[in-house]
């Protein structure tokens, strides 16, 4: 008998189109790729400093490599303020 005895949660049993994206762990996953959600973008822009620059640039590189130029620009602004 290979039954798992799982139950479907009534609050989370919706079906959506894949091209609308699935929100998961701070990212939105699409069939063609993934992106950070808006909240994480705003947090990045607000909290970036020289201490966490490598962490945020790694996050952007993982999810949205095309936006890495923006993070590098923020890094140059931070360095010019020193």
Q: Is the pLDDT of residue 36 over 80?
A: yes
Per-residue model confidence as pLDDT tens digits over 45-62: 888 888 888 888 888 888
Q: Is the pLDDT of residue 41 over 70?
A: yes
Mean pLDDT score, 2-7? 84
DSSP for 2-59, written as a single string = --------GGG-----GGG-EEETTEEEETTEEEE-HHHHHHHHHH--TTTHHHHHHH
Q: Which two tokens stand for residue 74?
A: 């923020």
Mean pLDDT over all residues of the chain? 83
């Amino acid at each position: 008998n290979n039954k798992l005895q799982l139950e479907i949660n009534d609050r989370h049993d919706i079906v959506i189109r894949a091209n609308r994206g699935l929100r998961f762990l701070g990212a939105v996953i699409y069939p063609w790729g993934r992106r950070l959600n808006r909240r994480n973008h705003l947090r990045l822009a607000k909290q970036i400093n020289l201490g966490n620059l490598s962490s945020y640039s790694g996050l952007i590189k993982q999810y949205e490599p095309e936006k890495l130029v923006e993070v590098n620009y923020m890094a140059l602004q931070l360095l010019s303020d020193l």
